[in-house]
Amino acid sequence: MLSLIKLPRVFNVHQVPKAFQEDSIISGYRHPCSSATDCVLSLFQLTNETLNVWTHFLPTWYFLWKLLTVVCMQDVWNDAYTWPLLVYLLSCCVYPLASSCAHTFSTMSTRARHICFFFDYGALSFYSLGSAITYSAYVMPDGWVNSTFHKYYISIAVFNTIICTAMACYSRFPESQRPKLGKVLRISAFTYPYLFDNIPLFYRIFLCAGEGCTVNEVNSVHVYHTLLAFLTGFLFATHLPERLAPGRFDYIGHSHQLFHVCGVIGTHFQMQAIEMDMSLRRAWLQDHAPPVTFSNTLGAALLCIFISLGIIFLFSRPLLRHPASSRDPRTARK
């Protein structure tokens, strides 16, 4: 069937505008003025974006199945204790779906590229908040439950999520003139919320000793997803292995594909650990932890979604005022 369809042509790095070029990726680029149809068709041919899409699109369905399982198997409407898990699972569905859509349609124009990744950044920020909400409800070490840090943890996480979205979106603007600054801003935008969200987890699994610690079989699973999270960040920041051999990993095996795979596997282990903590610690947490409410779960999530959408609109507005300016790849220079 696909043999009867004319698949879009691919180009090398010297044939596409600088805004579309990726570090150490030489070939496999799509037309920078692709139609939506061409973008979808390109998913069925090998380009340097094909696996970026599929490594996040397919896991979206697994995470959606997990979400529907919780909704159908547990009394989520009456049991507030499940609400943090719902927010987290929803964020797990949103971030890979937004990423796969961004990678699919980012070559329609320079303007579309920026806007697509604005939504990608907003979704990652939402996932960060979803993680923080479950950590507050299920993962917080025994000795920190009801502490001052615990009381303000969600509020600070909400603030961090908003700052993360704004900083990540802004990072695309200086990127053309000062690519290193854009990269540093983007890495910082996601590193800081991750480090803050994981303060209680890092303390619990690496530092805590004696009374007030939470010691159970879940800690080893938390270690797995923490190591994968650091590997994910390392791949994103270093552009390895393609930086060591430019052109060798254009289609399969470059850092962004590995970044996606490690991120999804890390999310899987994180999900397992959260569900185990939720089950094993339920009785103790319901006796000692502050009550789970709408405001510190679904309310916080909705607030961040609306504010993040507002931020995306503000950053997209100047782009929408001006026509896209992608040139034909046959005449564009690096």
**Radius of gyration of the CA atoms of the chain, in A:** 21
Taking only the tens place, the pLDDT of each residue in 316-326 is 999 988 754 44
Q: How many domains does the chain have?
A: 1
Give one DSSP letter per residue of 292-318, joined into a string. P-STTTHHHHHHHHHHHHHHHHHHHHH
Q: pLDDT at position 130, please? A: 98
Residue 34 lies in a domain: no
Residue 38 lies in a domain: no
Give one DSSP letter per residue of 31-90, joined into a string. PTT--HHHHHHGGGS--SSHHHHHHHHHHHHHHHHHHHHHHHHS-TTT-GGGHHHHHHHH
Pairwise pLDDT comparison (160 vs 334), residue with the higher score? 160
Taking only the tens place, the pLDDT of each residue in 197-252 is 999 999 999 998 877 788 889 999 999 999 999 999 999 999 999 999 999 999 99
Taking only the tens place, the pLDDT of each residue in 3-62 is 556 788 999 999 999 989 999 999 999 999 999 999 999 999 999 999 999 999 999 999
The residue range of the domain holding 199 is 49-321
Residue 331 lies in a domain: no
| C-alpha closest to that of 255 among 105, 55, 101 | 55
Residue 22 lies in a domain: no
Residue 8 lies in a domain: no
Q: Is 317 exposed, middle or buried (0-12, 13-18, 19+ CB in 10 A)?
A: exposed
Taking only the tens place, the pLDDT of each residue in 250-305 is 999 999 999 999 999 999 999 999 999 999 999 999 999 999 999 999 999 999 99
- Asked if residues 6 and 20 have their Cβ atoms less than 8 Å apart, the reply is no
Q: Is 161 helix (H, G, I), strand (E, B) or coil?
A: helix
Report residue 176 CA to chain centroid gap: 23
Residue 39 lies in a domain: no
Q: How far is residue 157's CA from residue 333's CA, in Å, rounded to a whole number?
A: 43
Helix (H) or strand (E) holding 11: strand 10-11
Residue 297 lies in a domain: yes
Q: Is 87 helix (H, G, I), strand (E, B) or coil?
A: helix
List, in order, residues 6 or more apart from 2 with CB less than 8 Å away: 44
Q: pLDDT at position 176, please? A: 73
Q: What is the mean pLDDT of the chain?
A: 92
Residue 40 lies in a domain: no
Query: What mean pLDDT is predicted for residues 53-81?
Result: 96
* Burial call 127-146: b when 16+ CB within 10 Å, e when fewer: bbbbbbbbbbbbbbbbebbe
Residue 328 above 90 pLDDT? no
The DSSP secondary-structure symbol of 48 reads S
Q: pLDDT at position 193, please? A: 95
**Global pTM?**
0.93
pLDDT band (50, 70, 90) for residue 330: very low
Please give the single-letter amino acid code of residue 224: Y
Residue positions counted in the chain: 334
Query: What mean pLDDT is predicted for residues 326-334?
Result: 38
Q: pLDDT at position 7, please? A: 82
Q: Is 225 exposed, middle or buried (0-12, 13-18, 19+ CB in 10 A)?
A: buried
Pairwise pLDDT comparison (264 vs 177), residue with the higher score? 264
Q: pLDDT at position 208, please? A: 86
